[in-house]
């Protein structure tokens, strides 16, 4: 009789552990989804700001239509990017590059830089960029936690049984990775 109780207790402990691991994986998967949703919300806000910014610049720099068209094309491409995180990150990095060229263009137009509407749009866009970076860090942290749990023993057994899959990190652009390198000073 004592042997039966021991077996029963072991089975119950194993079942409780299995449920705990499964629930932990579900929580992490949902956190990753929530974090990705936060990124999408901030990117949508960014997409909504860009046409207003382009229209404001267009009034002052009408002959710079090539740069303005590139910004709009990059925005449309970023909005259409669906599927993998890598594809989204690539289109977002292109959009960031075109926005940088737009802001560089404004250096030639002092009256535009003094325009209150332009300054407010630029501030909002900078704020949105900061929020995207924060959301990306939050997403990557949750992806790291999920991927680690999927790889660690014994949770990897449950992850494979219930088809939990690793997620992609939202990677930096190549030029941003180079910017993180230590600066070499030569005399």
In a domain, 58, yes or no: yes
- The pLDDT of residue 159: 93
Q: How many C-beta atoms lie closer than 10 Å to residue 174's C-beta? A: 9
Region 43-66 average pLDDT: 84
- The pLDDT of residue 174: 56
What is the reported pTM?
0.78
- The pLDDT of residue 181: 47
- The pLDDT of residue 68: 84
pLDDT > 90: percent of the chain: 45
pLDDT, one tens digit per residue, over 81-120 is 877 888 888 888 889 888 888 888 777 777 777 788 888 8
- The pLDDT of residue 45: 92
In a domain, 90, yes or no: yes
Q: Are 42 and 128 in contact, with CB atoms under 8 Å apart? A: yes
Please state, in angstroms and rounded to a whole number, the distance separating the CA atoms of residues 103 and 71.
11
CATH classification at residue 161: 1.20.1440.20
In a domain, 101, yes or no: yes
Residue 183 has pLDDT above 50, yes or no: no
pLDDT range class, residue 182, cuts 50, 70, 90: very low
Please state, in angstroms and rounded to a whole number, the distance separating the CA atoms of residues 76 and 64.
19
Domains identified in the chain, total number:
1
Q: Are 92 and 57 in contact, with CB atoms under 8 Å apart? A: no
In a domain, 54, yes or no: yes
Measuring CA to CA, how many Å separate 147 from each of 72, 82, 83, 98, 167?
36, 22, 19, 33, 7
Show the domain range for 42.
27-173
pLDDT, one tens digit per residue, over 4-24 is 899 999 999 999 999 999 999
First and final CA of the chain: distance in angstroms?
83
Q: Are 135 and 42 in contact, with CB atoms under 8 Å apart? A: yes
- The pLDDT of residue 175: 53
In a domain, 19, yes or no: no
């Amino acid at each position: 009789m004592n042997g039966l109780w021991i077996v029963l207790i072991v089975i119950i402990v194993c079942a409780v552990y299995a449920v705990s691991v499964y629930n932990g994986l579900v929580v992490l998967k949902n956190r990753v989804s929530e974090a990705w949703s936060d990124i999408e919300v901030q990117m949508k806000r960014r997409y909504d700001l860009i046409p207003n910014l382009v229209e404001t610049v267009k009034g002052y720099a009408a002959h710079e239509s090539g740069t303005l068209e590139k910004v709009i094309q990059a925005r449309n491409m970023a909005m259409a990017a669906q599927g993998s995180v890598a594809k989204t990150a690539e289109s977002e990095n292109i959009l960031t590059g075109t926005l940088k060229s737009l802001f560089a263009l404004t250096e030639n137009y002092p009256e535009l830089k003094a325009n209150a509407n332009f300054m407010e749009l630029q501030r909002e866009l900078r704020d949105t960029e900061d929020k995207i970076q924060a959301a990306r860090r939050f997403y990557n942290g949750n992806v790291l936690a999920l991927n680690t749990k999927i790889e660690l023993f014994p949770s990897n057994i449950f992850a494979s049984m219930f088809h939990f899959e690793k997620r992609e990190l939202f990677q930096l652009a190549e030029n941003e990775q180079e910017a993180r390198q230590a600066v070499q000073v030569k005399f």
